[in-house]
Structure formats: C-alpha cells, structure tokens
Amino acid sequence: MASLLSLDCPLPQLEFDRILLGHGSGGLLTNKLLETGVFDLLNNDWLAQKHDGAVLQLEGPVAFSTDSYVVSPVFFPGGNIGELAVNGTVNDLAMCGADARYLSLGFILEEGLLMTDFWEILLSIRQACAAAGVLVVTGDTKVVERGKGDRIFINTTGLGPIHPQARIHSNRVLPGDKVIVSGPIAAHGMAILSVREGLEFESSIQSDTRPLKEMALRLLDTAGEAIHLFRDPTRGGVATTLNEIARDRKVGFRLWQRALPLDEVVAAACEILGLDPLYVANEGIFIAVVDPAVEAAVLATLHGLPGGSQACTIGEVTDEHPGQVVLHGLIGGKRVVGMLPGEQLPRIC
Amino acid sequence: MLLPNRDKIIIRCTLYTARVYEKPNRMKFLNEYRDPELVEQYLQELHECTTRPWSIMEVCGGQTHSLVKNGILNLLPPPINMIHGPGCPVCVTPLHLIDKAVYLAMEKGVILCSYGDMIRVPGSRMSLLEAKARGADIRILYSPLESVRIAQELPDKEVVFFAVGFETTAPANALAVLQARTLGLRNFSILTSHVLVPPAIEAVMNDPEARIDGFLAAGHVCAIMGTEEYVPLVERFQVPIVVTGFEPVDLLQGILMTVRQLESGQAKLENAYSRVVRPEGNLPARSVIAQAFEVADREWRGIGTIPGSGYELQESLAAFDAVKKFEVPLEKAPEDPSCIAGLVLKGIRKPRECPQFGKGCTPSTPLGAPMVSSEGACAAYYYAQV
C-alpha cells in the first residue's frame, strides 16, 4: 500500500481522513468527496456534466456486461480492487468480442474506510482505464454503516461495439477445435491466498490482472470467424470454465497436463497447499476455442503482444465423453476434471 | 524447484513445524518423481515380477488420491489390487465431535477454527459450513498457530481449534497449545481428533473380513514418527510394510518393493521414501508431541473404538482441552445407516460398491465423510470418475 508521499497524484487537502456516513447522503459531504476527489481524477466530458446519466452515441451491435467486485483483501500483490473492477468488465466485454469503451462505476463504501485507501483505489482505476482505453462516464457512491460492508465493494458495467469479424458463440464450438490459453494459470488466486493467509513465499506471487481487450481484438483481426469462443477463467479456474462449456454444448474436452503453462512459484505454492491449479482463479488470461486451421496464426499473434508471450494450446474439443473434461496426465494416466461443489480447500496433511 | 533459494526449508503451514526437507543441492524433486520414463520402467518391472494376485493397502488418503489422480490404478498390472486405507483424518473424526464443534460455534459463540476440509463434513444436524452460513464464527486456517494469534487478539472471545489429523499435524497442534500456555491465554482450547497409523493397521489386520497382503505406510506420518513402530507389526502379522511417498514414481517404487517381497515370501519393513523419512523420524517434532499429548483410546468414525489409537492432551494441559472446558449436552447421534464409510475405510468395500455412490451420496450431498474430504476414497473415485 502506497504512503501519501508516494502516490503520483497527491491526495487533496480534506477535512476528513475517513469515509463518513454523510459522504453517501447526497449533501455537502458527498459533493466534497466527489468534487475534490472522484471527478478530479476521472474527469471527462460526461462526468463533467454531473448529470444523472451519460448519453452515448453507439452504432451497430454492442456488448453490455456487468460485474461486482468484493475481493478481500482489497490490496494484494500485483493490484487492488480498483483495477480488478476495470479490467474485469473490460475483459467480459472482450470475451464477447467487444471493444470496451464506456464504464459505469458504482461504489459501496464502508463507513471508516481510509481516504488514503480510497484515493489509491481511484488512482488505480484511472490508470487501468487509461491502459484499457475506456472511460468512466457515470457512477454512484453509497456509504453503509461500519460492519455492513467489507471496506469497499465496486460494481462496473461496460459497453462497447462488437468487432465486425466477431462471431463468438458457444454453439460454434465443434469437435476438433483447439483450446488455447493466453498465459500462465492460477496466479491471481494464489496471490490472494498468499496475502489472505499470511503465507510467506520467498518470491511474491503477483496477481495477473490485466486488460485482455487488445489481445482479443487482434485475434479477431487475425482470425475473425475462426475464433469460435472466448472465455476468461475467473472464479473456479480453467476447469470450471471448460466444464461449463462442455455441459452446455455437450462436447468433451481433452487437456494435456504437460501443456498447461504454470509459473514455478505458483506451482510450488499449489503443491504445498494441495490445490489444483486448474481450479484456481485467474484475472489476466483467457481461453480461445478456435478452428484448428488458425491455431498457428492465433499463437503467433498472441506471442507478439504484451501478456501473450506464454500462450499455448492446452487441449482440444472432442466428441468423445460429451459433457466431460478429461486431463491426460504427465505419466500416461487420464482422469476426469469435474466441477467442484464449492471452493477448493487446501489439504490438511 | 519446490521452493526457491533455500538449502534447508521450513515450511510454515499445517503440515510441518520442524525441518522436513533437507536438500544440499537444489533438485527438481517433483519433476523427477513424475518422470514418465521412470514411471514406464517401474510399470514394466511390475508387470514382469507379478505372478499372482496381491492386495496392497496404501494407508494414507493422500496416497489414494495420487493413485487415482495420476491414473496409476489403471496402469498397474491387473493382479495387483490396491485397497484404500483409513488414512483420512477428516473421514475418521467421530460424528459427535463434529456435532460438538457445531454446538460450540452456534450455541456458545466460540470462534471455531478449522482446517478447510473439515467444515464440509456433515454432522447429525449440520456441517460447520452450514453453521457458518447461519452466522457462526467459523474460520478456515492453514495453521493452528493462527488460532492462537486470534485468541491473543480477541481476549474476550473463546477460540477453539478443531485439531484433526494423523501424527503429521500433531506437532503443529502441540506447538499451538504450548504457545498458548506460554502466553498465559485463558481463551484458547483445542478439540482433539488425533489418530495414529500403527493401531489402524493393527485394527485392519485383526478384521476377519479384511484381506491385506502388504502395506504402503504413510510417508508424511513416518517423516514425523520414524519407522521403528512398524517393525512389531511386520513381525506379528508377517506382512511387508514399505514406507512410501506420494508422487507417481514414489508410489510405484513402494508397490514394486512390496510385490517383490510378496513374490519371494518375505515380510520386512523397508523405506522407499528415505529422502524424507529417517528411522528415528523428526526428533524435534516428536519431542513437541511428547510435551503436549499422550496416547489414548480413540473412536474412529465408521470403525469404532481402537485402543491406544489417538492422542489426548496431557492432564497438565487440561485447561486447553475443549471437551473438558465446555459442557456440551448432546446425545450421541446415530450415523446415517446407508453410509458404508467404515467398510470403505477398512478397504473391505470399494467406493463404487456402495449403493449410494454418486446417487444419494455426492460431494455436494455427502452421506458421510469419505465423499467430502480431499483425502477420502469416495471423493477420489467420484471426481476422477474411476
């Protein structure tokens, strides 16, 4: 967490060092918070109007997505809830083949949240928006009593036009399609766990949160309709995402354990805790299910983009074992990778 | 590299409180013990030397899961039948202890700290997870020392740690109690459900329905306790016991050494996990256990009471024993009669032979513990769809 001195946009002089209930009541305090805080950092023509909503001009098919962010802890290695909230919705739109342009930003703040923390999150939101090429055009701030919120909850909703060549739909997934992942798996979940549980690894595990828009749109430029599906494997990891597709489309997936990209330290952390990386959350990678004819071109494109250097094919779609994801192990065995009933829990001994 | 940049590694987690891995040279242990070529060689040897059916029990649930997860069960020569043992501490924790934990959390308002797996196991009314959803303060911890810290930070709240495990987790649990005593804490106690492996092997061998020819002893348990206490078992029952690890090559090596003994009519103790296990075990860990615990009779869920098969806190530490500290007016509830966990844990039935497997009993709707625990045989079979 940055100190006041190290923030690159200094916290304005305010009479309060914490969020108070009055900040959500719409009166003077709210104005103070927004005027000297939020609008300063996130200024643009729409926010400058301070209207109840933003009027946008969009043509053609548009993707629309919403997500809420309740991650705890709010600050973690590699990021914080602010950039997660921006990247998460930008990425959901990217998975639809859309170029995220506009976001709404809703805060639910717990009374007592430190202004320095709120400011740092706002700064991260600003930076993440700039990196992802999106604008926050409308928003809302509410404050709840101490004890009724976990410091800060954020909702972002996003809009963006669909790429002209995008024909992304789960019903286009066919046996023979290749399953490509854009980068190493399990980093985000293990980063959160390492902070939450105070586990000390010599190398800190960083969350992989990043916007996936650029990679997704470039792939659509390269391969267009041959991209059958994009999905980002957030909660529940790669295994859960593929299982959802398998059940929905009644196809099977074949995965090769030797092909799964995994950072050494993340792998070691999973080993110690007895967690299967296939079920650990990700925030900065996506899965592309593509026509086998474009596999090489897709990989080449990803390898040339930031965040895509470790992209690789991890499996394929099959008409055998419909509805099931089967992992081909390192030593020649096979096992079904099913859905977990709840959260994966670390082993005891 | 398992962990970077250390020659001697102290792993701060639920497993170990003392040094376990000593590596003068950094080696990629995991990769070597998962080497497909080595695996192939071991399988080849097994196929060549196995001439008769043999039933071998791997004691530890972690070994069961590794066998299933790595597809080894399907790669072994057909005459070798792996029988899954009772080495799942969550599975053998008695129903009434879970009910006690739920009661303390719901009715007495204690902060109930537990290892993750334990919270999904059904009690007679509800699981700890369900209690959590109903407002009980249940915390999932990786280390019992965390619960001591919570007790220190919240002196007005009672903190109870559900101390489940085989010998492997006993040092950490012992340390927690000793630390609480040193700190003079009055609001900390443990609900003990510690079980021991050698009496379990004895109980299995004494069961007329069980037909076990040899055992793979649990590698991590032996890392703590050593191997000496298995010698009397070998001599009494004339069965090979091979201390075995968890990676594919470890398991195959342990199985091969057992089969070789069986084929040649031998029965002795061997150590196939010598990179981690010494005959005397881990002396600092054993010393810590001895300072806090003493051997006592223990009830195993689904099996019954096995004499001298568990740990209880010593009398001098009675103030930290949650069973003695709190009055819990509960009747002992009966088990669900359709759950055959006891037969599965003793290796008399395979999970698939249970009429409820996958139907009335699934990980989301478990009838018993082996379907819920990450070391339970039923869960292993269910997830891998073996």
Question: CA nearest A276 in B: which residue?
Answer: B69
pLDDT of residue B48: 96
Least Cα distance to A189 among A259, A281, A286, A57 occurs for: A281
- Given this structure, which CATH class describes domain A21-161? alpha beta
pLDDT at A39 over 70: yes
Q: Looking at the partner chain, which of B3, B39, B71 has a beta carbon nearest the beta carbon of A268? A: B3
Q: What band does B14 get if pLDDT is binned at 50, 70 and 90?
A: very low
For the segment B79-118, what is each residue's pLDDT rounded down to a tens digit?
A: 999 999 999 998 999 999 999 999 999 999 999 999 888 8
Task: Report the predicted TM-score, pTM, of the whole model to 2 decimal places.
Answer: 0.85
- Domain extent listing, chain A: 21-161, 170-336
> Of A70-74, A113-117, B255-259, B357-361, which one has max mean pLDDT?
B255-259
Dist CA A32 CA A9 (whole Å)? 18
Helix (H) or strand (E) holding B271: strand B269-271
State yes or no: pLDDT of A310 exceeds 90.
yes
CB contact under 8 A, A342 and B374: no
Instruction: State the distance between the two ends of chain A, measured CA to CA, in whole angstroms.
Output: 34
pLDDT at B374 over 80: no
Contacts of B6 in chain A (CB under 8 A): 202
Which is it for the CA torsion B175, B180, B182, B183, positive or negative?
Answer: positive
Cβ A329–B12 below 8 Å, yes or no? Answer: no
Nearest to B90 among A333, A338, A348 (CB): A348
Q: Per-residue pLDDT averaged across B180-204, rounded? A: 95
d(CA A189, CA A273): 12
| DSSP string of B309-320, one letter each residue | EEEEE-GGGGGG
Q: Is the pLDDT of residue B59 over 70?
A: yes
Q: Chain B: nearest CA to A330, how far in angstroms?
A: 6
B3 touches chain A (CB under 8 A): yes
Model confidence at A7: pLDDT above 70: no
pLDDT tens digit string along B327-337? 888 888 888 88
CATH topology of domain A170-336: Phosphoribosyl-aminoimidazole Synthetase; Chain A, domain 2 (3.90.650)
The confidence score (pLDDT) of residue B215 equals: 97
Q: How confident is the model at residue A18 (pLDDT cuts 50, 70, 90)?
A: confident
**Across the interface, do B12 and A273 touch by the CB < 8 Å criterion?**
no
Q: Is the pLDDT of residue B23 over 80?
A: no
Q: How far is B265 from chain A (nearest CA, A)?
A: 31
| C-alpha torsion sign, points B168, B10, A77, A8 | positive
**pLDDT category, A25, cuts 50, 70, 90?**
confident
pLDDT tens digits along B205-253: 998 888 899 999 999 999 999 999 999 999 999 999 999 999 999 999 9
Which pLDDT belongs to residue B29?
61
In percent, the amount of chain A with pLDDT more than 90 equals 68
* A336–B120 C-beta distance less than 8 A: no
A128 sits in which H/E element: helix A115-132
Considering chain B, what is the average pLDDT of its residues? 88
Most confident residue range from A259-273, B5-19, B302-316:
B302-316
Q: What is the pLDDT of residues A148-164, one digit of tens each?
A: 889 999 999 999 999 99
Mean pLDDT of A92-104: 97
Are B117 and A347 within 8 A, CB to CB? Answer: yes
What is the C-alpha to C-alpha distance for residues B136 and B130, in angstroms, rounded to an integer?
A: 9
- As its CATH architecture, domain B30-337 has 3-Layer(aba) Sandwich (3.40)
Instruction: Give the pLDDT score at B8.
Output: 28
Could you give the count of Cα atoms lying within 13 Å of A260 in the half-sphere of its Cβ? 22
- Which residues does chain A have within 8 Å of residue B118's beta carbon, measured at their own beta carbons? 348
The CB density around residue B14, as the number of other CB atoms within 10 Å, is 27
What are the C-alpha distances in Å from A49 to residues A52, A119, A133, A160, A193? Answer: 9, 22, 21, 21, 41
Report the candidate in B306, B384, B379, B301 with the shortest Cα–Cα distance to residue B343. B301
For residue A346, say if its preceding peptide bond is cis, omega within 30 degrees of 0: no
pLDDT score recorded for residue B184: 96
Residue extents of the structural domains in chain B: 30-337, 338-384
Residue pairs between chains A and B whose CB atoms are closer than 8 Å: 115
Phi, psi dihedral angles at B339 (to 5 degrees):
-90, 125
Of A265, A335, A347, the CB nearest to B69: A335
Q: For position B11, what pLDDT does the model report?
A: 36
Mean pLDDT within A303-307 = 96
Q: Are strands A79-80 and A75-76 parallel, antiparallel or unpaired?
A: antiparallel
Cβ separation of B165 and A349 shorter than 8 Å?
yes
Across the range A294-310, mean pLDDT stands at 97
Please give the average per-residue pLDDT across A172-182, as a whole number.
Answer: 98
A202-235 pLDDT, tens digit per residue, is 678 999 999 999 999 999 999 999 999 999 999 9
pLDDT of residue A6: 53
Of B70-79, B288-297, B324-333, the range with the lowest mean pLDDT is B324-333
* pLDDT for the residue A8: 63
Report whether pLDDT(B361) > 70: yes
Query: What distance in Å separates residue A198's CA from the closest CA in chain B?
Result: 9
Query: How crowded is residue B275: how many other Cβ atoms within 10 Å of its Cβ?
Result: 16
Nearest CA in chain A to B90: A348
